[in-house]
Each structure stands twice: as structure tokens, then as C-alpha cells.
């Protein structure tokens, strides 16, 4: 029964927080996290815990796939060096720094490295939710970093746990081999699964079957990589990036409509649920410590949180100046960021559910049967760090963005307009030949030509010119009239259903077509 109650509680919490966050102009993850902490005080929910397997095997593949398939591969290629440095070297440096501080605070080296590896990676879902207002390049850098760095951190984490448990003896060769297998095997697994998915999607005959293949893609990539001991995270990311390039060529229009709606809603709910569950987990983390340990734990949370921000800032600014000394090419100068942009990146090192899942997955015993040293402290500190680095930077980030005064990113709008104009011009050029091939009469061709020509005039219109203003005004009136007519058509069809003259099946079919037409008109208006 608790499972059903939990579904309802999560749904209501997400609904309330989403509405309040929009009106209060606060990032939803912060409210969701706070509400999760408050829900943890309810006695019936004190037994609720976030299973690490659910995060690593269910939540993570779906969320990472959606993030990778919706990110910009072009921007990743442009900034590949910086992304790889932050997703590999920064993770290793961060884990080492945390391990040193944790050891100074009383943890043995094994648990200290486990803690360092757990809190080293930034969280893709938190970054995506809290950095939407940033320019495209900044968002792409942060998202790409958080998509890849989980693989590095989880390799370090698994090695640290295995050494502490007593399963392996660490050596430089073992570490290098593990990283090579993680990245090479993960990339290969993702590419193989993506290739198979492309073949299957080309042979599916309907949208429903194709979307079953799409839903299976991230989980299949993660599974294949996991079977060979490689990074499932990287496999999902590689599969997503490949499908982002191949999808427009192999997919069907109706399939894409279903896929966009499904992934948009499901990833939003998964993401929001994770923040609530992380908040609830705070209670369990506190109960795992005695009162004497609680003070040490709070001190560790503060120290590790400050250290993570300091290491990130030092790496961002230090690596930038080092690269300037080594690489003086004009192309490198064009990629340079302002100090304000680096400050924003430094404050955007959010931690999330992956870190908590790693901490919760720490085994309870070592090979000898003795308890895993400082396991409860690792869970508590990781949970505390997640809360601190979500709430404080999340609240400060809007003010920092205003202070940084980054230039307005008009690139997406400009490129969208270029693509629309170019596509319509090519369609108009091909219309006479296509009309003859299809056997269409001259009046049909002329009707379609007029419609495309009018739309092209709207796309080319400049709002600051008199002729452009008049063209846009006519288009707005035309769109409003079409929307009003669609509303009348929808009401008429509903009336026929209410009178029993048509079946609900017929209503839904016609309503779906009207909805698509309405969304197309409204979406076109927003784009223009």
C-alpha cells in the first residue's frame, strides 16, 4: 500500500512545487528538495529509501539518453577539449582532494576515496533543470561535462570500494586498464546498440513499434556495457548522440510526435521524483549517525562542500590560463570565455542522485565480514553535500547570471530562421516538378505555391520595417482566425458526440487532427 501512497505523494508534491516555482520564480529542484526533506518528518515515510539500483538502472539511463539526444553535438565538438578535461581530470582531482580532506577529518583512506568518488561528478539532471536561462554554449558545456563525468567517477568509486572491501590490490596498471575499458567499451557498446536501433527503426512499419525500440535503446546500451564491465553511462550518452544525428533520417513523423511527448513528460517526472526522494533520504542519513557523530558529519559536509566549489573554480581558471599559454591559435582565442562565464560554470557544479546512489550502494560488510568502515558517515556527508550544492548555488545563480551580464544568445533564433527560410525556398523550387510527377492540376499547384509563398514572406519579414510589420500583423490576424475556427470545429464535433450522432472513437480521431493543426499554428507563431 505504501508504494501506491508514495506515487500519489510524489505526484502531488511535483504538481504543487511546479506551480509554486513558476509563480515564485524559484528553480523547481530547490522546492522539490525542500519538500522532500519535510516529507521525511512524516512517520509513515521514514522507511522510504532511494534504492541505488533504481537510480543506476532505471532513472539514470532514461534521463541521460534524453539529455544526450537533445544536446548540441556541434557545440560538443567545438569544445571537446574543455569537456574532456572537466569530465576526466577534474573528476580525478576532485575525488583526490575530497579524499585527502576526509582522511584528515578521521576517515580511513579507503572510505575517504569512496566518498571522494561519490561526490566528484556533477549531476546531469540538476544541471539541465537549473541552467536553462544560460546561453547555448554555457549550457552545452555543463550538460556535456555532467553526461560524461559519471563514467569517470563510477570507475574510481568501484575501484575504491573493491580495494576497501579487499577484493583487489590497486596498481597504476589496473587503474589505467579500468579507465580504458570503461571509456572504450562504453563507447563501443553505445555505438553498436545505436547501429542496431537504426536498422530496426528503418524496418518498423508503425509508430508504436518504432517507439518501443526507442524506449529500449538507453536500457539496452547500459546493459551491454555493464555485461562487459564498461561504463553504462557513456554507452547511453554515445547511443543518444548517434541517434540525435541519425534519428531525423530514419524516424517517422508520427513516431517523433509520440516520442517527444513521451520522453518530455516521463523524464520530467523522473527528474522531479529524484529530487523529492533525495530530500526524503536526508532523514535516513541523519538517523544513521549517533549524536556524537552528527557534529563531525556536519563539519565534514561544510568542509567538503566548500572544497568542491574551490577545486572547481581553481580548475576552471587555472586550466584556462594554462591553455592560453600553450595554445595561441586564433581558433582557441575564439573559444575563450569571460570571467563571468567561468564564475557561472564554477557555481553550477550541482551534485545529485547519482552521487547519492553511489553512497547508498556501498556494501555493508567487507570480505572478512566486518562492517564497511564509516559507511553511515559516507551516506550522510554525500546527502548533505547534495543538499548544500543544490540549494545555495541554485538560489545564487540567477543573481550571478545578472552580474555576469552575458551577451544575449541569438544564435538559435537566427539559425532557426535560416533553416525555415532555406527549407521553404527549396520546397517552392521543387513544387512545379513535384506537382507534375504527382499529377496535380495547375490550380492545386498554385494553391500550395501561394500558401508557401505567404509563409516565406512572414519568415523574411523584418519587424522594424513598415512592410514587415504589416506582413506580420496580417499573419497574426490570420492565425487568430484559424485558431478560432478550430475551436468552433472542435465544439461542433463534441456536440455531435453528446447528441449520440457520432462515437467517441470518431471524436478522438478528429480531435487529434484538430489538436495537431492547433499546435502547428501556435508553435509556428512562437518560432516567428
Q: How far is CA 209 from CA 9, 68, 148, 236, in A?
A: 33, 22, 30, 21
Confidence of residue 278 (pLDDT cuts 50, 70, 90): confident
Is the Cβ–Cβ distance between 363 and 161 less than 8 Å? yes
pLDDT of res. 255: 86
pLDDT of res. 528: 47
Residue 332 has pLDDT above 50, yes or no: yes
Closest C-alpha to 115, from 443, 425, 362, 389: 362
Exposed, middle or buried: residue 52 (CB in 10 Å: 0-12, 13-18, 19+)? Answer: middle
Give me the chain's average pLDDT, please: 86
Bridge partners of 371, per DSSP, are: 365
Segment 10-20 mean pLDDT: 94
pLDDT of res. 328: 65
Q: How far is CA 444 from CA 332, 409, 441, 450, 509, in A?
A: 53, 41, 5, 10, 26
Cα 16 from Cα 203, distance rounded (Å): 43
Cα 34 from Cα 48, distance rounded (Å): 16
Which stretches of 55-135 are DSSP H helices?
60-69, 73-78, 80-84, 90-104, 109-119, 124-130
Segment 499-521 mean pLDDT: 87
pLDDT of res. 525: 52
Residue 1 has pLDDT above 50, yes or no: no
Cα R_g (the chain), whole angstroms: 26
Q: How far is CA 355 from CA 86, 167, 459, in A?
A: 17, 22, 46
Cα 180 from Cα 90, distance rounded (Å): 17
pLDDT of res. 152: 87
Confidence of residue 527 (pLDDT cuts 50, 70, 90): very low
Give the predicted TM-score (pTM) of the model: 0.83
Cα 475 from Cα 359, distance rounded (Å): 56
Using one digit for the tens of pLDDT, what is the confidence trace for 341-395? 889 989 998 998 889 888 888 888 887 788 899 998 999 999 999 999 999 998 8
Is the Cβ–Cβ distance between 393 and 142 less than 8 Å? no
pLDDT of res. 168: 65
Is the Cβ–Cβ distance between 234 and 151 less than 8 Å? yes
Closest C-alpha to 199, from 250, 245, 241, 253: 250
Cα 412 from Cα 494, distance rounded (Å): 40
Q: How far is CA 360 from CA 213, 277, 282, 349, 352, in A?
A: 31, 13, 12, 21, 13
Segment 501-520 mean pLDDT: 87
Phi first, then psi, for residue 371 (nearest 5°) are: -60, 145
Cα 146 from Cα 127, distance rounded (Å): 8
Residue 145 has pLDDT above 90, yes or no: no
Residue 523 has pLDDT above 70, yes or no: no
Confidence of residue 89 (pLDDT cuts 50, 70, 90): very high
Residue 132 has pLDDT above 80, yes or no: no
Residue 333 has pLDDT above 80, yes or no: no
Segment 75-100 mean pLDDT: 90
List CB contacts of 416: < 8 A, sequence separation 6 or more. Answer: 527
Segment 190-201 mean pLDDT: 95
Using one digit for the tens of pLDDT, what is the confidence trace for 394-418? 889 888 888 888 777 777 778 778 8
Supply the DSSP symbol for 127.
H
Segment 28-41 mean pLDDT: 89
Using one digit for the tens of pLDDT, what is the confidence trace for 206-224? 888 999 999 999 999 999 9
Read out DSSP for 299-358? HHHHHHHHHHHHHHHHHHHHHHHHHHHH---HHHHHT---HHHHHHHHHT----HHHHHH
Closest C-alpha to 165, from 364, 379, 378: 364
Q: Which residue has the higher pLDDT, 465 or 335?
A: 465
Confidence of residue 239 (pLDDT cuts 50, 70, 90): very high
Phi first, then psi, for residue 365 (nearest 5°) are: -135, 160
Cα 412 from Cα 289, distance rounded (Å): 50
Phi-psi label, residue 89: left if phi above 0, alpha if psi -120 to 50, beta otherwise: alpha
Amino acid at each position: 500500500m505504501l508504494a501506491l501512497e508514495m506515487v500519489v505523494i510524489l505526484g502531488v508534491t511535483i504538481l504543487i512545487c511546479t506551480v509554486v516555482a513558476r509563480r515564485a520564480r524559484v528553480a523547481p529542484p530547490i522546492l522539490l528538495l525542500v519538500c522532500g526533506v519535510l516529507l521525511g518528518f512524516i512517520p509513515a515515510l521514514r522507511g522510504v529509501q532511494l534504492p541505488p539500483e533504481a537510480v543506476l538502472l532505471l532513472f539514470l539511463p532514461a534521463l541521460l539518453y534524453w539529455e544526450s539526444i537533445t544536446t548540441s553535438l556541434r557545440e560538443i565538438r567545438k569544445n571537446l577539449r574543455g569537456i574532456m578535461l572537466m569530465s576526466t581530470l577534474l573528476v580525478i582531482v576532485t575525488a583526490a582532494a575530497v579524499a585527502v580532506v576526509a582522511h584528515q577529518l578521521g576517515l580511513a583512506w579507503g572510505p575517504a576515496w569512496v566518498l571522494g568518488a561519490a561526490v566528484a561528478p556533477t549531476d546531469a539532471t540538476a544541471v539541465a533543470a537549473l541552467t536553462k536561462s544560460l546561453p547555448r554554449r554555457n549550457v552545452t558545456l555543463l550538460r556535456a561535462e555532467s553526461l560524461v563525468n559519471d563514467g569517470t567517477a563510477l570507475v574510481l568509486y568501484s575501484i575504491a570500494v573493491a580495494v576497501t572491501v579487499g577484493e583487489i590490490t590497486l596498481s597504476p596498471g589496473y587503474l589505467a586498464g579500468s579507465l580504458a575499458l570503461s571509456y572504450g567499451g562504453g563507447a563501443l557498446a553505445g555505438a553498436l546498440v545505436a547501429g542496431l536501433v537504426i536498422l530496426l527503426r528503418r524496418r518498423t512499419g508503425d509508430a508504436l513499434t518504432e517507439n518501443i525500440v526507442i524506449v529500449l535503446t538507453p536500457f539496452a546500451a547500459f546493459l551491454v556495457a555493464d555485461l562487459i564491465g564498461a561504463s553504462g553511462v557513456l554507452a547511453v550518452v554515445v547511443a543518444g548522440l548517434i541517434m540525435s544525428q541519425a534519428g531525423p533520417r530514419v524516424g517517422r513523423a508520427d513516431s517523433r510526435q509520440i516520442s517527444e511527448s513521451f520522453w518530455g513528460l516521463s523524464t520530467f517526472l523522473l527528474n522531479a521524483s529524484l529530487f523529492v526522494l533525495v530530500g526524503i533520504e536526508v532523514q535516513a542519513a541523519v538517523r544513521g549517525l549517533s549524536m556524537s557523530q552528527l557534529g563531525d558529519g556536519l563539519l565534514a559536509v561544510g568542509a567538503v562542500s566548500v572544497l568542491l566549489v574551490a577545486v572547481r573554480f581553481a580548475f576552471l581558471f587555472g586550466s584556462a590560463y594554462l591553455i592560453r599559454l600553450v595554445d595561441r591559435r586564433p581558433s582557441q582565442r575564439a573559444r575563450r570565455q569571460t570571467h563571468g562565464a567561468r564564475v557561472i560554470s564554477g557555481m553550477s557544479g550541482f551534485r545529485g542522485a547519482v552521487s547519492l546512489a553511489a553512497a547508498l550502494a556501498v556494501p555493508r560488510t567487507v570480505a572478512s565480514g566486518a562492517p564497511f568502515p564509516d559507511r553511515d558517515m559516507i551516506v550522510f556527508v554525500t546527502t548533505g553535500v547534495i543538499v548544500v550544492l543544490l540549494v545555495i548555488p541554485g538560489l545564487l545563480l540567477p543573481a550571478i547570471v545578472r552580474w555576469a551580464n552575458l551577451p544575449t544568445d541569438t544564435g538559435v533564433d537566427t539559425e532557426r530562421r535560416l533553416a525555415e527560410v532555406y527549407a521553404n525556398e527549396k520546397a517552392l523550387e521543387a513544387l512545379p516538378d513535384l506537382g507534375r510527377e504527382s499529377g496535380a492540376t495547375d490550380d492545386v499547384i498554385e494553391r500550395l505555391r501561394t500558401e508557401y509563398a505567404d509563409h516565406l514572406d512572414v519568415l523574411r519579414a523584418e519587424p522594424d520595417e513598415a512592410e514587415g510589420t504589416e506582413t506580420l500583423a496580417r499573419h497574426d490576424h490570420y492565425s487568430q482566425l484559424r485558431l478560432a475556427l478550430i475551436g468552433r470545429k472542435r465544439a461542433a464535433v463534441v456536440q455531435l458526440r453528446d447528441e449520440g450522432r457520432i462515437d467517441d472513437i470518431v471524436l478522438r480521431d478528429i480531435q487529434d487532427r484538430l489538436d495537431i493543426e492547433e499546435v502547428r499554428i501556435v508553435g509556428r507563431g512562437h518560432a516567428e
